[in-house]
Structure 1
Amino acid sequence: MRSNENTLLLGKKVVLVPYTAEHVPRYHEWMKSEELQRLTASEPLTLEQEYSMQRSWREDAAKCTFIVLDAEKWQAQLSTTEESCMAGDVNLFLTDLGDPSLGEIEIMIAGVTKLGLTKFEAKIGQGNEPSIRMFRKLHFEQVAVSSVFQEVTFRLTVNEHERQWLLEQTSHVEEKCYRDGSSESH
């Protein structure tokens, strides 16, 4: 996550900030949900394990993890914390060392400019119909099925025309410097 540890992306409805120790308690509460565990193919973790996971992801150069904040709440956050504005997360995994233009993504976000990605893959549990519908709607195409892992792989290859369209659609997004990540307590 070193590539996005000081990056804040400000959009009209959401703000993306790096996943820090401050976000772990709320994230941990979310992940107690059996439904979320099923949809994300996740195992329940203790709070300490969740802090450890956050630290390891922060140190991993092959992962970019953002927390999605409600922009309206965040901009009016005089008396609220980022944790109270949390709405979800976005993950980008640079999984193929042989192809640095490929990133596995869990939600569509404009990672095109900073990281130079042109291909996005999503690995989705076969029973996760809401995510399958969303990625199909985003023009991802099914490229593989794994009966062993019970998942479907979707891919979107971004050509120059689509890249320009993405840049136009996200032209309102401002990239700002996030607070210095060295002050984390966990």
Structure 2
Amino acid sequence: MKINLSTQILGANVCLVPYKEIHVERYHEWMKSPELQHLTGSEPLSIDEEYQMQKSWQEDENKCTFIILDRNQFLLYKNEVDSMIGDTNLYFNNFDEPHTAECEIMIAEEKARGQRLGWEAMILMLRYGIEKLQVNKYCAKIKMDNVSSIKMFGKLQFHEISRSTVFEEITFERLVDEQWIKWLISETLNSTRNENQ
């Protein structure tokens, strides 16, 4: 998505930056993991296919992607690639409901899990979708065995709407309302968004 090409979102512990060519090799290494392929429902790609995918996502107005950086590491070393811990995405794939987005998050670096970094990154992405992309409803599709993500989306006040035994996933949903927006803001009070780097 071109709208976020020069956007940087700083949270207390994470930083969201657009997915660019410099990130592809590290991302490609992550996606060799059978565990991450399973949890994200992804197929392994060659490095050339990964570069093509990055380019197509950048051009696709129905996909918004940010790479998640460990903010402390990034501020210390000023190196995005070395600070990468995962990614977060919004997909606008419901053409009957153009203001509905499917959201997803991946913390690929094992050492970065269990520290609420994914929590903060997801809330920053949800806020970006509401404040910048006019999202009024979110859905999330999570593998049935992904216990940590199921718990997290429950705490994010999403509710289950369906289960698919074929895809082994649960679909969660959350309507955007004023009370929820206030709560999202309260969870990320120290965040800032820079539109021009």
- Whose radius of gyration is greater, 1 or 2? 1
Q: Note the residue ranges of structure 1 that are not aligned, 5 or more in a row.
A: 180-186
Residue 160 of structure 1: CA displacement? 1.0
TM-score, normalised on structure 2?
A: 0.84
Q: Which residue of 2 aligns with 1:23?
A: 23
Q: Which residue of 1 aligns with 2:182?
A: 164
Q: Which of 134, 141, 144 matches 2:159? A: 141
Q: Whole-Å Cα distance in 1 between the matches of residues 190 and 146 of structure 2? A: 31
Number of paired residues?
177
Q: Whole-Å Cα distance in 1 between the matches of residues 195 and 68 of structure 2? A: 16
What is the Cα-based RMSD across aligned positions, in Å? 1.5
Aligned residues: percent identity?
Answer: 46
Q: Whole-Å Cα distance in 2 between the matches of residues 90 and 52 of structure 1? A: 19
Q: Which residue of 2 aligns with 1:177?
A: 195
1:67-146 alignment, distance < 5 Å: 67-78=67-78, 81-107=79-105, 108=122, 109=125, 110=127, 111-146=129-164
Q: Note the residue ranges of structure 2 that are not aligned, 5 or more in a row.
A: 106-121
TM-score, normalised on structure 1?
A: 0.89
Residue aligned with 2:72, SS: helix
Q: Which residue of 1 aligns with 2:113?
A: none
Contact 1:17 1:178 in 2 (8 A): no
Contact 1:145 1:153 in 2 (8 A): yes
Q: Whole-Å Cα distance in 2 between the matches of residues 96 and 133 of structure 1? A: 25
1:95 alignment partner AA: N
